[in-house]
Amino acid sequence: MHLETPTSNPSSQTPGTSEPGATERIFVSRQPVFDATEKVAGYELLLTESLAGAGTTAPQSVAASARLIVNVFDNFGLNQVLGEHIAFIPISADSLTSDFLDLLPPGKIVLGIRPSDGVAADIVGACERLCGKGFRLALDDFPYSQEWKPLFKLASYASFDMRAAKLDAVRAQVAQIEHLPLQRLARNLQSREEFQACKGKLFTLYQGSILAGPETLSMNRVDPSTARVMQLFNLVMSHSELKLIEDALKHDVALCYSLLCYINSAGFGMPYKVESIRNAIMFLGYDFLWRWLSLLIFAGVDMHAGQRLLLNTALIRGRLTELLGQRVLSQKEGDKLFVVGVFSLLDSLLGMTMEKALANLSLPDEVADALLQRRGKYAPFLELALAFENNALARAEQLCGELGVDLSAASNDHMTAIDWARQLS
């Protein structure tokens, strides 16, 4: 089955703007892994080049590993992709020492590695450190040789490609490691007969299109600007003031979205909802922030030109709702109103319904109500921002009266928000 997010709702486009140009879609292939009873035990996640799943590959470099992780965590959301299951995520051998692996929740992730030209002792040492942090390892098509024996003692899984090897050869390899407490996975099973032959003593986990084909998850790609990521990285590395980091983050819609998606995806087990960008920064702290930003840098993210018009409009909405709210509400609620305004075009930016876009986030109920239902105490501020945006002055005057905001002051806030977004551009 192929899962593709629906196209954006034309009614959510900004009046008076042109349709954004064609945006790149991102694809992640999700291949189920089954136990002997054919119950799903987890999913292997891979990069793919199309909705049809063509060109599915395991990462061969740090950048490719980063792109896969960014797509899963910062775009789709780990909970959306996995539910309660574990993820088998292949990474390149040179990613084993990358700091961004510290961003992953060890309890949900099995890191898959393949034989490499690297020095065995270095690879084993890196894997020892990862296992010490709680990660589990899957060895994909590793030979059981003297140099790799220490790695087999560390690993939790060993997998074999049944498409690339004959069953008798696989039996011989399994016989070498059956004394180890490893779960063994048969990949790319070609027939039900092969599945039956592999069940029992040979393997405990199974994967192949004869059991279930891969699902291809797809959505529009909305990435932060590389320049903004680098600026933020420098601010975080120099331990700049929280306010400076917050302001820089709020300049980029995609960064705000990615940050909240990451917090919701990474399995932090938070007892409360993150209510604002400030809360997210305070929760993560400098160490996690620079690792997260380095992940984006490794992935080579950049904003697509066709999205700039919508992103600019979203920034204006975010700043305007924030300024309007601060006139009659607390600063904390002004922070929430920034999220309401800046995320009000997520459906258009991501090419999906607002319900699906917000499913990747953990937003306070009043923020979600304003975005989904246009109701609650924050909704009138968004409606006022839209009234100014559409030059509906009679409606703006009515809303200002209801909110207790001076119309002239609100109009000045609109000009301030436009100028703020223009300077960012």
pLDDT tens sequence across 59-75: 766 777 777 777 777 66
Query: Which of the 8 DSSP states describes residue 36?
Result: T
* 58-62, 219-223, 283-287, 303-307, range with the lowest pLDDT: 303-307
Query: Which of the 8 DSSP states describes residue 12?
Result: G
| DSSP secondary structure string for all residues of 112-146 | EE---SS-HHHHHHHHHHHHHTT-EEEEES----G
**What pLDDT was estimated at residue 1?**
28
Number of H helices, E strands in the chain: 18, 10
Using CA atoms of 100, 103, 107, 111 in order, give the dihedral in degrees to the nearest 10: -20
User: Taking a C-beta distance cutoff of 8 angstroms, is the pair 25, 221 a contact?
Assistant: yes
Is CATH 3.20.20.10 the classification given to domain 226-424? no
pLDDT at 129 over 80: yes
pLDDT at 305 over 80: no
Domain limits, the chain: 25-219, 226-424
pLDDT at 7 over 50: no
**What pLDDT was estimated at residue 345?**
85
Query: Which of the 8 DSSP states describes residue 199?
Result: B
Amino acid at 416: T
pLDDT at 23 over 60: no
146 or 380, which is more confident? 380
**What pLDDT was estimated at residue 267?**
58
**What pLDDT was estimated at residue 410?**
93
SS3 helix, strand, coil % of the chain, rounded to 5?
55, 15, 35
User: Taking a C-beta distance cutoff of 8 angstroms, is the pair 52, 3 a contact?
Assistant: no
What would the CATH number be for the domain defined by 25-219?
A: 3.20.20.450
Q: b or e along 345-378 (b: 16 or more beta carbons within 10 Å of the residue's beta carbon)?
A: bbbbbbbbbbebbbebbbbbebbbbbbeeeebeb
**What pLDDT was estimated at residue 4?**
35
27: three-class secondary structure by DSSP: strand
**What pLDDT was estimated at residue 419?**
86
Q: What is the mean pLDDT of the chain?
A: 80
pLDDT at 328 over 60: yes
Q: How confident is the model at residue 220 (pLDDT cuts 50, 70, 90)?
A: low
| Arithmetic mean of pLDDT, 100-122 | 82
| DSSP secondary structure string for all residues of 68-109 | HHHIIIIII-HHHHHTTSEEEEE--GGGTT-GGGGGS-GGGE
Highest mean pLDDT among 25-34, 150-159, 288-297, 341-350: 150-159
**Structure-token pair, residue 95:** 């990613």
Angle at 150 between CA 147 and CA 157, to 5 degrees: 110
**What pLDDT was estimated at residue 48?**
67
Residue 37 to residues 162, 203, 209: CA-CA distances in angstroms? 19, 12, 16
Residue 113, φ and ψ in degrees, nearest 5? -125, 150
pLDDT at 325 over 70: yes
Angle at 51 between CA 45 and CA 53, to 5 degrees: 50
| Arithmetic mean of pLDDT, 90-116 | 84
Residue 206, φ and ψ in degrees, nearest 5? -145, 150
**What pLDDT was estimated at residue 9?**
36
**Structure-token pair, residue 315:** 């920034």
Query: Which of the 8 DSSP states describes residue 214?
Result: P
pLDDT at 19 over 70: no
Q: Say what angle helices 308-328 and 331-342 make with each other, to 10 degrees.
A: 160
| Arithmetic mean of pLDDT, 369-388 | 94
Angle at 268 between CA 267 and CA 270, to 5 degrees: 120
Claim: this prediction has a pTM higher than 0.85: no
| Arithmetic mean of pLDDT, 22-40 | 79
pLDDT at 91 over 80: yes
pLDDT at 157 over 50: yes
| Arithmetic mean of pLDDT, 201-220 | 81
User: Taking a C-beta distance cutoff of 8 angstroms, is the pair 223, 250 a contact?
Assistant: no
**What pLDDT was estimated at residue 15?**
32
**What pLDDT was estimated at residue 283?**
84
Q: How confident is the model at residue 22 (pLDDT cuts 50, 70, 90)?
A: very low
376: three-class secondary structure by DSSP: coil
**What pLDDT was estimated at residue 46?**
80
- Of 100, 104, 106, 109, nearest in space to 134 by CA: 106
Amino acid at 77: G
* 60-69, 132-141, 265-274, range with the lowest pLDDT: 265-274
**Structure-token pair, residue 282:** 């305070």
183 CB burial (10 A radius; 0-12, 13-18, 19+): middle
